[in-house]
Amino acid sequence: MTSTPQHFLTLLDLEPEVCQQIIRRAIELKKMHRDGITHTPMLHKSLAMIFEKSSTRTRVSFESGMTRMGGHALFLSTNDTQLGRGEPISDSARVISSMCDIVMIRTFAQKTVEEFAEYSSVPVINALTDVYHPCQLLADMQTWLEYRGDMQGKTASWVGDGNNMCHSYINAAIQFDFNLNIACPEGYDPNPDIVAHAGDRIKVYRSPAQAISKSDLVVTDVWTSMGQEEEQQARLKAFKGYCINDELMSQANEDALFMHCLPAHRDEEVTASVLEGPKSVVWDEAENRLHAQNALMEYLVSLA
Ligand code: CP
Ligand code: NVA
């Protein structure tokens, strides 16, 4: 490849129309699979999957998704590759991208995926950093669309930590044109630059009930993300009162949905009754990781 590849390091890397196109294509790919239609746009293509953090959904969805599309996925843990022994990212990127058709990275710093992308000759996908988790948002938006139709003008509420998922929800609010109410305890707000970029569609509250009121979608995530384990006790204290329970859910609109990217901690950020309750769509949301990412990979590789 001679031109610069299209990467997916944040949701804002793609035009809003392309984000829409990908989630709609994901729904088609899901149906095609259910109908037994074989679709192999990745035949003889390889995806390198670099993991510096743990994963269940991301690894299984990308690996299984590549197989379903006729390709192959390589699981590369930093413990077992030279990346973990200090080989520069720029060197690793040039080598890995010379042998694979697409790369997925889960790591700590956003700068790491940016640097990898700078030196990669093939598309690079951010599969979670400390700052963003854009693949999860494609799956969440696909799920919202499947259940309730177009999200334009609707209201979602984010309750909990102003973390990587929260930042990607802010970007999703821009790309899919919905309002987002955020409730975080003091000291755990999302990055103010990311909030400011989204303009007045974002409102930040301290009260979960206020944020949730009149929303069409309620979302939360763990209070302690990967890499923050030492802060767990302090976070348990700070987030008291931010658990999504049936009473809080009842503040949302009658037909509101509940989402969580998983893994979930029952009776910390969400009660078991909400997670397993009738408004929760978390299992479809998890499955949709596979379909949304297949649509994303199909799009990125089609440009190459
Ligand atoms: N939601 C999500 O990314 O899950 P994993 O950490 O299991 O990949
Ligand atoms: N915020 C969580 C998301 C896990 C999928 C974390 O970064 O650990």
Residue ranges of domains in the chain: 11-133+286-303, 136-283
Q: What are phi and psi of 110, to 5 degrees?
A: -60, -35
> What value does the mean pLDDT take over residues 5-26?
98
- Say yes or no: CB of residue 261 within 6 Å of ligand 1: yes
Same fold yes or no, 11-133+286-303 and 136-283: yes
Question: Is 221 among the residues known to form the active site?
Answer: yes
CATH topology classification for 11-133+286-303: Rossmann fold (3.40.50)
C-alpha 129 – ligand 2 centre gap (Å): 9
Q: Mean pLDDT across the chain, nearest whole number? A: 97
- What ligand is nearest to the CA atom of residue 160? 2
Does residue 155 contact residue 179 with C-beta atoms inside 8 Å? yes
Asked if residue 263 has a cis previous peptide bond (ω within 30° of 0), the answer is yes
Buried residues in 130-154 as b, exposed as e (16+ CB within 10 A)? bbbbbbbbbbbbbbbbbeeeebeeb
Evaluate the CA torsion angle 253, 257, 263, 265 in order and state its sign.
positive
**Banded pLDDT at 1 (limits 50, 70, 90):** very low
What is the predicted pLDDT for the residue at 234? 98
Render pLDDT for 98-107 as a digit per residue (tens, 0 to 9). 999 999 999 9
Tokens coding 230: 């030492």
By most ligand atoms within 8 Å of CB, the mutation choice from 59, 222, 235, 269 for ligand 2 is: 222
What is the predicted pLDDT for the residue at 67? 98
Question: Is 94 among the residues known to form the active site?
Answer: no
What is the predicted pLDDT for the residue at 3? 80
Render pLDDT for 238-266 as a digit per residue (tens, 0 to 9). 999 999 999 999 999 999 999 999 999 99
Render pLDDT for 54-65 as a digit per residue (tens, 0 to 9). 999 999 999 999
Q: Which residue has the tokens 């700052």?
A: 131
Distance from C-alpha of 265 to C-alpha of 223, rounded to nearest angstrom: 9
Question: Is 20 among the residues known to form the active site?
Answer: no
- Say yes or no: CB of residue 57 within 6 Å of ligand 1: yes
Render pLDDT for 48-89 as a digit per residue (tens, 0 to 9). 999 999 999 999 999 999 999 999 999 999 889 999 999 999
What is the predicted pLDDT for the residue at 2? 56
Distance from C-alpha of 278 to C-alpha of 259, rounded to nearest angstrom: 12
Per-residue pLDDT for 192 more than 60? yes
Alpha-carbon distances, residue 116 vs 83, 126, 182 (angstroms): 11, 10, 32
What is the predicted pLDDT for the residue at 82? 94
| Residue (of 73, 126, 80, 135) closest to 101 by Cα position | 73
Angle at which helices 134-148 and 16-34 cross, to 10° = 70
CATH topology classification for 136-283: Rossmann fold (3.40.50)
What is the predicted pLDDT for the residue at 304? 84
**Banded pLDDT at 114 (limits 50, 70, 90):** very high
Question: Is 289 among the residues known to form the active site?
Answer: yes
- What ligand is nearest to the CA atom of residue 262? 1
Q: What pTM, to 2 d.p., does this model score?
A: 0.98
Q: Which of 130, 140, 161, 221 is catalytic?
A: 221
Closest ligand 1 atom to the C-alpha of 58?
A: 8
Q: C-alpha angle 126/19/99, rounded to 5°?
A: 40
